[in-house]
Structure 1
Amino acid sequence: MSQIANSGNQKDIDAGHGLPNKLGDNMNELAEYLGLTDEQYDELDIELHEDTGSSGEMVYSYWFNVPETASAEILQKTGWKVE
C-alpha cells in the first residue's frame, strides 16, 4: 500500500484513501478506475481487503497489494512498483 501512496499519482492517492466500493459484478468499473483494461485487471488477480476499522461493523475503504507477478506494462501504466 505504501508503494501506491508514494507514487504521487492522483488515482493512486485516491486509492490510498479508499477504493470505491466495486465488489461483485462491477469489477470492470474498478479496472476503469485504476486505468486498466479488464484483461489487465484480471491478469493481476487482485484480492481486495476491507478496512473495517476497530469496530469491524462498517467498511471504510478497500485495499490491495500489488502482486509481484504484475507485468512491466501494468507497472509502467500505473506507476506502481513491486519491492
Structure 2
Amino acid sequence: TLSDGSSTDDPTPTLSGKAEAGSTVKIYDQNGLLGEVTAKADGTWSFSPVAKLPEGEHRFHVTATDKAGNTSADSDDFVLTLDYTAP
C-alpha cells in the first residue's frame, strides 16, 4: 500500500480511495487528468494509469461526481515520488 510522501519504482502505481457509491472519480496529477473510474457499491475505487508515468514527484488529487451531477471539491494532494533509478 502506498502512503502519502512515499516512493515507488512502479511506473503505473495503483491509487485507491473511497467515494459515494456509483460516483465517477476523476484522478489528476500536476499534468492534468489521468483517468476516471466508478466507485463500487461499497464506495471503494482503485485506478492504475495505462501509460507509464514519468520519473519524479507526482501530486495526485481526485474529484468525485455523484449520480445527481454534484462534483466534490478537489481532494488534498497525495504526493508520490516515482524513482526508476537503481541504487
Q: What TM-score do you get using the length of structure 2 for normalisation? A: 0.26
Kindly indicate which of the two structures has a greater share of residues assigned to helix: 1
- Bigger relative contact order (CA 8 A; separation at least 6): 2
| CA radius of gyration, larger in | 2
More strand as a share of residues:
2
